[in-house]
Amino acid sequence: MTDERHNYEYRVNTASESGPANVVRMVGQKKRVVEIGCGPGSITKILATQGQCSVIGLELDSDAIEKAKPYCKRIFQADLNSNDWPRLLDDFERFDVVLAADVLEHLYDPWTALQRMVPLINQQGYLVISLPHIGHASVLACLMEGDFKYHDWGLLDRTHIRFFCLKNIEDLFAQANLKIIDVSYVIKHPLETEFAANWTRLSASVQEVLMSSTHAGVFQVVVKAVPLSYLGDVVPLVSPTPKYKPAPILFALMWRRRFIVLFKTLLFQLSKHLSPQWKAKFRKVLDFAGIRL
């Protein structure tokens, strides 16, 4: 096994509100799990050791397979863009949980891939799927700047080829005859993301407009889904809407920016009604205070 850290290898703080932590909680304890696209086993390790789950893994990358292998009962190399990957599981009983954490966005046809996962669950089983939300304010900031730049990880991971807003996620599950019965939202301020630099280059007024979007703070979505015939009420993603709740320091910064914009606007309007002499005096006072209109 290589000791080099894999690109998708990370630690999972199960007490946090991160995407992986929400995935682990939604899978549950002592489950028979097939983890589709298990990567180097970052989540697999927690499920097997802390969750006492029995995990069968599917993964394409050979280096990732070597890292995940110690935590899997069995692991298979599988191309999820092919038509026949489900046949690798023909000799196994159906599973309690089918897990695909941040996988579907990497596939050419996530709609068909999701449909192929449904027959893998047993009569009490469910699917746990996590997806990044392309409608996050940080991505909108990139679009405002005209800089839709891909990265090695995150919302604009260079291997992402499909993008979803909340309505598109609902449609994805509906076309597979699935209903979402539980959801967790990973909420982040743009300053907490890989696009913090893009965000800080925007004016406070533009930032305020982007954050006013209903789902601007939703960074990632984790859902539990079952076939329509199974028990469980449908949980809509689009409504009721999650609200971004910033940390106190970020909250203070946001309101400080809003106050500065409002204050400058009032000063500008006031200056229009002053004589040239008073304008000159007024500007001296503002310059001394370090305020530029």
| Domain count across the chain | 2
Q: What is the mean pLDDT of residues 1-29?
A: 84
pLDDT 10s digits, 224-238: 999 999 999 999 998
Q: What is the mean pLDDT of residues 32-36?
A: 98
Using the predicted structure, report yes or no on whether residue 282 has a pLDDT greater than 80.
no
pLDDT 10s digits, 59-115: 999 999 999 999 999 999 999 999 999 999 999 999 999 999 999 999 999 999 999
Last residue of a domain, one of 224, 242, 260: 242
Residue 232 shares a structural domain with residue 277 = no
Residue 194 shares a structural domain with residue 233 = yes
Residue 184 shares a structural domain with residue 292 = no
Residue 130 shares a structural domain with residue 164 = yes
User: What's the pLDDT at 291?
Assistant: 52
pLDDT 10s digits, 135-168: 999 998 988 888 777 777 677 777 788 999 999 9
Residue 40 shares a structural domain with residue 136 = yes
Residue 100 shares a structural domain with residue 189 = yes
Is residue 7 a part of any domain in this protein?
A: no
Residue 259 shares a structural domain with residue 218 = no
Give me the domain span that covers residue 261: 246-293
Please tell me which residue, 52 or 284, carries the higher pLDDT value: 52
Q: What is the mean pLDDT of residues 211-222?
A: 91
Residue 185 shares a structural domain with residue 63 = yes
Give the closest residue to 270 by CA, choosing from 255, 290, 288, 291.
Answer: 291
Residue 185 shares a structural domain with residue 278 = no
